[in-house]
Amino acid sequence: MFTQNFVTAVAATTSIFIGGSNALVAQEASSATSASTLSVSYTTYSALASDYPGVARDGGGGGNIGGHTLMVFSDTQTKRTGLWRMTSNSYAYATNPDEPTEEQDFGSDEVPAQAIPWDEGECATEIVEEHPEWCSASNTSAHDGYWIWPNNALATQFNDPTATEAYAIYNTGLRTPLSWQYNTLVHWTVTDTGVNATRPVQKYITSDFKYQWGWSIASHSDGNIRLFAIDSGNLYVAKVAWDNITDTSQFAYWNGTQYTKSDESSAAVIATGDFVDGDVWWSPLCNTWILIYMGSAHVGSPWYVRYSTSRKVRGPYSEAQHIFTPPWGTSYSYSGHSYPQFISTEAQEVLLTWTYQDHGLYTHMAKLSFSL
C-alpha cells in the first residue's frame, strides 16, 4: 500500500569540492576553477508538498517546457473518501525555484490526473469501464493491466526551456508478471491549462533492439536529439534529427569513430559505471556534457557526477565523483532524476529528485549549484 506523509521542508546545506580524484574535501565551492575541476554545493529537502492531501508518488522524471519545470511521476495514489485511488502516472509543476518542494497539481476531486494516455491493448477492459483511473492499479484485480513509468528526462529541439513542445521516452510493461514490453515515445505540448501528452509511436523501442534506448534523452543547440542506453554498466549514445525522431531507422549510433545509421551492433561504450538512474545533458554554463546519476541501492543509492572532458557527448568522461548519499535512515532510495534547467538554461542550479521508500513513498529533493 502506498502511504505518504508531508513535512515542512528542512534544508541542510553542505558544500563540497570535487576534484580529480575520488577524495572528498569539505570546503566552500571555489569561483575560480580549472577545466578539470567541478565545484558543487547542494541543499537537500525532505519531502515534496502537494495541493492534494495524502498524495503518494513513485518515481519521477521530466524537465522544462514552456518555461515550466514539468515533473512527471510513476504510480500515484491519493486517499479520498476512504478509498485508495490510483493512476499509473501523474504530473505537476515545480512552481518556486527558492522552495522546490512547492508544486502545482493537475487533476480533480483531489485525485491527480493521469499524465500519459493509454494506447491500444494496454488496459483490462472491465477495469477501464468501471474505473478508468484504476486501469493499472496493483490494489485491484487488474493484474493483467499495464504500467507507463515516466522516470526519464524530456528534450526540446534546441535545449530551450521556453519551447512549447518536447519528446520523452518512457518504459511500458505488464504488472503481472512484472515485465518490460517496450519503450513508448511521448510528445509533450504546453496548453492553457497545463501540458498535454500524446504518443506518436506506441511501441517505439522493442525487444528487436539490442539496447533499451531512452535511459536518458537530451538535446543540444544543433537540433539533434541524443538518446542514451545502459547495459551491464556500459553507457551508449545515438542521435537523431528532431524531425525524424518518430523513425527509429534514422538513429545514428556512435561506433567509437563516427555515427553510423542502422547499425546498432556497432554502438561503442562511451562510459562505464554504476549507472542505475540518471541523466546526461548539455550544460551551456560549463560548455560540456554533464552526467548525474544514482548508484546501486545496496550501497545506499549514492549520487555521482561526471563530465565530458572533450566537451563531446561521446566523452571521454571524468572519473565518477561522489556528491552525496541520501541521508535518511536505512531504507533505500531510487529513481533519481535531474532537472538541469530548473531556473534557466544558463543557471548554475540543478534540481534533483528521487523516491525514498520506508513504510511508504516520499519524494525527496536536492538543489545543486555547480561550476566548471
Closest CA to 227 of 244, 29, 145, 304: 244
pLDDT in tens, 277-310: 999 999 888 899 999 999 987 667 899 999 999 9
Query: Residue 198's pLDDT is what?
Result: 97
Cα–Cα distance for residue pair 129/127, rounded to 1 Å:
5
Vertex 60 angle, CA 155 and 354, to 5°: 120
pLDDT grade, residue 158 (50/70/90)?
A: very high
How many helices and strands (H and E) does the chain possess? 1, 30
pLDDT grade, residue 235 (50/70/90)?
A: very high
Per DSSP, what are the bridge partners of residue 353?
337, 365
Residue 145 pLDDT more than 90? no
- The set of residues, in sequence order, having a beta carbon less than 8 Å from that of 23 and lying 6+ positions away, is none
First and final C-alpha spacing in the chain: 44
Domains of the chain (ranges; CATH) run: 12-371 (2.115.10)
pLDDT grade, residue 240 (50/70/90)?
A: very high
Closest CA to 88 of 154, 180, 175: 175
- The set of residues, in sequence order, having a beta carbon less than 8 Å from that of 209 and lying 6+ positions away, is 248, 264
Provide the strand spans (E) within 244-320: 252-254, 259-261, 271-272, 277-283, 288-294, 303-307
Cα–Cα distance for residue pair 219/156, rounded to 1 Å:
6
Cα–Cα distance for residue pair 361/245, rounded to 1 Å:
34
Secondary structure class of 130 (helix, strand, coil): helix
Cα–Cα distance for residue pair 322/320, rounded to 1 Å:
7
The residue written with cell numbers 566552500 in the block is 28
Q: Measuring CA to CA, how many Å separate 87 from each of 19, 90, 173, 329?
A: 43, 7, 15, 28
User: For residue 273, which phi and psi values (nearest 5 degrees)?
Assistant: 170, -175
Task: Note the pTM of the prediction, 2 decimals.
Answer: 0.85
Grid coordinates in use for 125? 477492459
Query: Residue 42's pLDDT is what?
Result: 85
Residue type present at position 357: Q
Residue 8 pLDDT more than 50? no
